Amino acid sequence: MKGFTLWFTGLPCSGKSALAKGAEEVLLERGMKVEVLDGDVVRTNLSKGLGFSKEDRDTNIRRIGFVCHLLTRNDVVAIGAAISPYRQIRDENRTLIGRFVEVYCKCPIEVLKKRDVKGMYLKAERGEIKNFTGVSDPYEEPLKPEVIVETDKETVEQSVDKIIRTLELMGYIPPEEREEYTKEEEKEIKERLRALGYI
């Protein structure tokens, strides 16, 4: 099976890492080789030392994009999950990689502020964190992402399902093999096995 890159973009706390993990689990289940490059993790190794100026942010996203490109051409599913605020750099990665699926994690900033357990939005508003995307640094929404997940309205499972269905429809992954049994049949089998103490 050919590789591709699944690129999650969105404001801090918009659900990129959680959805990347959810998508990873499904793709692994489907028998694919998967590698996740999470922005927070990448900044501790591949992009260690880079800051949050526009130049450093661009370098970080280009590096992640380059690794995704290498993985993709070796038939791995690369999952990038980083704020990646600038449209131009995301599009550069799209051009470099080719087999590129952009997922926009959309969520109103008021919800993100409530969701923010580390209090980063508050600190940014107080000026304690500089260059904070969405507060003191810009975020450029994707114009034509392949998937938009509205993480304030959807559960993680629903969003992951939407992403996976898009990948199926676009032919990046084969449709899920249908289980032999319907949900009703499974329920009945379960009850019968339970009655005899087999489960």
Partner 1 sequence: MVLFKRKSKRRVCVVGLDGVPYELLLKLTTEGLMPATAEIIEGGHLRRMKVTLPEISSVSWTSFMTGTNPGTHGIFGFVDLKPNSYHIRFPSFKDLKAPTIWDKLGKRGKRCIVINQPATYPASPINGVLIAGFVAIELEKAIAPASYLPRLRRLGYQIDIDTLRARQDHDFLFQELDRTLEARHRVVDYLWEEDWDYFQLVVTGTDRLQHFVWEGIEDEDHPYHQPIIKYYREVDRLLGELYGRFSRATDGEGFFLLSDHGFTAIKQEVYLNSWLREEGYLKFKVPNPSSLEDIKEGTVAFALDPNRIYLNRRGRFPRGILGEGELSALREELRRKLEGLQHQGEPVVERVFLGEELYSGPWVDMGPDLVILSRYGYDMKGSVKEREVFGRTGLQGMHTWDNAFFFSKEEIEGGALHITDLSEKIIGLFD
Catalytic residue numbers? 84
Q: Which is nearer to partner 1, 153 or 192 (CB)?
A: 192
- For the CA atoms of 9, 11, 15, 18, what is the dihedral angle to 10 degrees? 60
- Minimum CB–partner distance for residue 77 and partner 1 (Å): 13
Cα(24)–Cα(49) distance, integer angstroms: 28
Amino acid at 45: N
Instruction: Give whichever of 12 and 22 is closer to partner 1, judged by the CB atom.
Output: 22
**Phi and psi, residue 88, nearest 5°:** -60, -40
**Judged by CB, which is closer to partner 1: 23, or 135?**
23
The position carrying tokens 């490059």 is 37
Question: Around Cβ 82, how many Cβ atoms within 10 Å?
Answer: 26
- Least separation in angstroms between residue 24's CB and partner 1 is 8
Q: Rank residues 110 and 176 by Cβ distance to partner 1 and give the closer one.
A: 176
Residue positions counted in the chain: 199
Distance CA 155, CA 27 (A): 18
Taking the complex as a whole, the smallest distance from the CB of residue 109 to partner 1 amounts, in Å, to 30
Residues in 140-199 that interact with partner 1 by CB under 8 A: 179-181, 185-186, 188-193, 195-199
Position 40 contacts partner 1 (CB under 8 A):
no
Site for partner 1 in 19-38 (CB under 8 A): 24-25, 28-31
Q: How many residues bind to partner 1 according to rule CB under 8 A? A: 22
State the Cα–Cα distance between residues 169 and 146, nearest whole angstrom.
11
Question: Least CB distance from residue 128 to partner 1, whole Å?
Answer: 32
Q: Which of 65, 79, 67, 69 is nearest to 32 (CA)?
A: 79
C-beta closer to partner 1: residue 24 or 102? 24
Residue (of 151, 149, 146) closest to 167 by Cα position: 146
Residues near partner 1, by CB under 8 A:
24-25, 28-31, 179-181, 185-186, 188-193, 195-199
